Amino acid sequence: MARRSPERLTIADVAEKAGVSLSTVSRVMNGSTTVDAALTQRVREAAVTLGYTASPLARSLVLGKTQTVAVIVPDLGNPTFQGALRGLSTGAAGENYHVLVADSFEDPSKEAELAREARRRSDGIVLCAPRMTDDELNELLPQISPAVVINRTPTSARVPVVAADYRSGFAQLLAHVKDLGHRKLLFLSGAEGSASNRDRLAAVDAFRAANPNIEISVLTGSVNFADGYASADDVIASDATAVLAFNDLVAMGLLGALTARGVDVPGEVSITGFDDIQFAQYTTPPLTTAAVPTPELGAQAWARMWDLLNGRQPAYNLAFGPLVVPRGSTGRPPKTGDDPHPAAT
């Protein structure tokens, strides 16, 4: 009788070859330590002889696991979220887990249903910078447990959180342009539902209170390159000498538009970004920004998810402090007759 191809072999063939029951083969294939050592050896030798490899799908059905975690991101095109995914995926791969990614396209109304659907296809879920309201987030998290959240702290639901301290990072950028002598600032703020944007606005409020002699205006709704490019006319009309963008993508879009209009950066206006994505240092001029270790955020999120999947208490919540990286896009404000901080000559 011809030998069956490996694709057609089943655990019944292994059981017959080893002279054991189907349940014994199943337990051995799924790593059970309760099977007698001699029987375990017989099953393994039979499987090797036959060339049998357990189907991942069959293994998932037996164990009730998918070997997959899901991640919901607001914008997969943003390199910041790609960095977090890279860190998480690397950690997951080390434990033979796959990562299922869903993009909400900056639409908070889609996030909850995406999360529920993704959770049905996975063993756990990571919400990366969710845009939904606090009430929606707190209601959702118990429904999709086990869950980990990146860059958002739920107000009541208790889940592991890893985040960047955007408030302190933005406060550092404000201090940076202040120290350069800028007294008229503009913040191109992010999406209304973004928790990290609220942190930046909190830094703006604190800065205003501490520096009443410095004017700072806010333009809302900038999250990507196109938004930054489209803001150029408003930036020029504002007469601000320093513009702090919500992120590097917005800053780079603005930089491109101002350059096209012949506006000198930083001679006429300074620009800062946020995140320090890999392209920030290669703009012309190179972009001043605040660096966030996004791959480490992802790696730490995976570590906490792995604890949850194995019934362990996850590590403490973690917040990374961004650091300002000064580059060529910021400088002294343009010299004016009444400027108490004239540009260096």
Same domain, 179 and 281: yes
Give the tens place of pLDDT for each residue, 113-159.
Answer: 999 999 999 999 999 999 999 999 999 999 999 999 999 999 888 89
17 domain-assigned: yes
328 domain-assigned: no
H-state helical runs in 151-279: 166-180, 195-210, 225-230, 232-238, 248-260
Residue 70 predicted with pLDDT over 90: yes
Same domain, 268 and 315: no
335 domain-assigned: no
Same domain, 278 and 170: yes
Same domain, 211 and 301: no
Same domain, 159 and 305: yes
**CA-based torsion, 289, 196, 278, 105: positive or negative:** negative
101 domain-assigned: yes
Same domain, 150 and 234: no
337 domain-assigned: no
Q: How confident is the model at residue 335 (pLDDT cuts 50, 70, 90)?
A: confident
Same domain, 285 and 199: yes
pLDDT at res. 192:
84
First to last CA, the chain: 92
35 domain-assigned: yes
| CATH, residue 96 | 3.40.50.2300
- Domain of 198, in residue numbers: 166-292
* Mean pLDDT taken over the chain: 91
Same domain, 203 and 273: yes
338 domain-assigned: no
Residue 166 predicted with pLDDT over 90: yes
Q: How many domains does the chain have?
A: 3
pTM of the shown model: 0.80
Give the tens place of pLDDT for each residue, 188-243.
Answer: 999 988 999 999 999 999 999 999 999 999 999 899 999 999 999 999 999 999 99
The β-bridge partners of 103 are 73
Give the tens place of pLDDT for each residue, 282-309.
Answer: 999 999 999 999 999 999 999 999 999 9
| CATH, residue 32 | 1.10.260.40
**Cα–Cα distance between 219 and 307 in angstroms, integer?**
42
pLDDT at res. 132:
95
Residue 79 predicted with pLDDT over 90: yes
* Residue closest to 243 by CA, chosen among 304, 288, 211, 300: 288
pLDDT at res. 57:
52
Residue 338 predicted with pLDDT over 70: no
Same domain, 134 and 209: no
Q: What angle do CA 73, 77, 79 make, to 5 degrees?
A: 90
Q: How confident is the model at residue 14 (pLDDT cuts 50, 70, 90)?
A: confident
Same domain, 22 and 50: yes
**Cα–Cα distance between 188 and 280 in angstroms, integer?**
17
327 domain-assigned: no
Same domain, 276 and 173: yes
Share of the chain above pLDDT 90, in %: 75
Same domain, 171 and 282: yes
Show contacts of 77-81: CB within 8 Å, 24+ apart.
77/224, 78/223, 78/224, 78/247, 78/249, 79/248, 79/249, 79/275, 79/277, 79/278, 79/279, 80/247, 80/248, 80/275, 80/277, 80/292, 80/294, 81/128, 81/129, 81/294
**Cα–Cα distance between 30 and 227 in angstroms, integer?**
51
Residue 8 predicted with pLDDT over 90: no
Cα distances from 254 to residues 72, 173, 243, 320, 329, in angstroms, run 28, 17, 9, 27, 11
Of 292, 309, 329, the residue that ends a domain is 292
